[in-house]
Structure 1
Amino acid sequence: MEIAENAALVVVDVQKGFEEEDFWGLRNNPEADANIASLIDAWQESGRPVVFVRHDSSSPQSPLRPGYRGNDFKEYVEERRGKGSGAELLVTKAVNSAFYGTPDLREWFGEQGVRQIVVAGIQTNMCVETTARMGGNLGFEVFFALDATHTFDLTGPFGWTATADELARATAVSLHGGGFAEVVTAQELVTAAKG
């Protein structure tokens, strides 16, 4: 795996509101936060660009709504913001894709000459997957750091349910098998970034 000198890390929605289990239900991958932190550290140490994405939910019940403490980034993300020597951007959004946020992510990537992105964060099968899919559709080379994401059990139509692990596997198969992104581990990316 070769990581470009200006490959951008896109850290999606790592916000305190996702710690409210009563709202979201059971999560998977307890190692996600440590893996996200390791990616941020590797990107900042190498001077590569980092994009921090925050979901500003329009739902008054959401733990991610603006003005509520859950809208804030988790502490380990907040304490790393502004610490790297590379370019950094804050994107806010109210939908699933970071490419539909403010400021315009695609435009910023163009200004930075970015053609390769790494996507990590919360939730695996929601905003992280949607951002990766759209990145692939827009022609970016996308690496999806599966173990630097997590999600929650979910109920869908017809009474169907899927566990967080099942949803994560489905995301990985769809993205990788469908050609939207290369699904990799955080450690593979950290090693490549240091190489």
Structure 2
Amino acid sequence: MKACLLIIDVQKGFDDTNFWGERNNTNAEENMLLLLGAFREVGLPIFHVQHQSENENSPLHPSKLGYQLKTGFEPKTEEPLFIKNVNSAFIGTDLKETLEKEMIKHIVVIGLTTNHCVSTTTRMAANYGYSVSLIHDATAAFSIHSYNGTVFSAQDVHESALAHLHQEFAEIISTDEALSRWGSISSYMQ
């Protein structure tokens, strides 16, 4: 089953904790870079996603420096970049058509943030019939204020998002599990 790595919204604007608040998994980018390197090493396809916010106050608005991908996450020439302005990487892009053309059946998802674009894209991928692995320590979330004023910590938000996806939309695995599976085997290139 041919696999690919899908890297969602690893942008400089997510470093703005004044805008976003408390974050968990502060080493998520290190794990993402390990996975990116492993997929490049074995020649598996890599797809990048960048969020283009329509909110002029957002650090992810194209007029802001935060719109840029973080250092080390720039796509290589053969790695497509999909620009989106909603939570799903499938909406307003040709991601699905590209996956079909490449005959991808399994998507390994990493990026930011767990409960927003990562979750929405994972759900849609599963609904489209793709097998999905979501790497829990290569994504992260921010604390949120609920409709009733309750504040949920970044870790609680992250764990809750993963719990909702687990088994129904994706398998939830670690970077180490993913590296042992995809880092050195060529069966996922067919």
Indicate the TM-score class for this superposition, using the shorter chain for normalisation: over 0.9
How far does residue 176 in structure 1 lie from its aligned partner after superposition? 0.8
The aligned runs of 1:79-98 (5 Å cut-off) are 81-82=75-76, 87-98=78-89
TM normalised by structure 2 equals 0.93
1:123 matched to 2:113? The reply is yes
Runs of 5+ in structure 1 lacking a partner?
A: none
1:161-184 per-residue CA deviation (whole Å, 9 max, x = no partner) reads 21110011111111114x100000
Task: Indicate the SS of the match to 1:188.
Answer: helix
Q: Work out the percentage of aligned pairs sharing the same amino acid.
A: 39
Cα distance in 1 for partners of 2:92, 2:83 equals 5
How far does residue 101 in structure 1 lie from its aligned partner after superposition? 3.7
1:27-83 per-residue CA deviation (whole Å, 9 max, x = no partner) reads 0011101000011001111111101100000000000001211000000212xx217
Does the 8 Å CA contact 1:172/1:183 hold for their aligned counterparts?
A: yes
- 1:51 is aligned, of 47, 50, 62, to 47
TM normalised by structure 1 equals 0.91
Q: Alpha carbon RMSD of aligned pairs, Å?
A: 1.1
Task: Indicate the SS of the match to 1:148.
Answer: strand
1:163 matched to 2:131? The reply is no
Cα distance in 1 for partners of 2:32, 2:38 equals 10
- 1:64 is aligned, of 41, 60, 67, to 60
Cα distance in 1 for partners of 2:165, 2:112 equals 16
Match of 2:188? none
Task: Indicate the SS of the match to 2:133.
Answer: strand
How far does residue 144 in structure 1 lie from its aligned partner after superposition? 0.4
Please identify runs of 4+ aligned residues in structure 1 that moved more than 4 A.
Answer: none
Higher helix share: 1
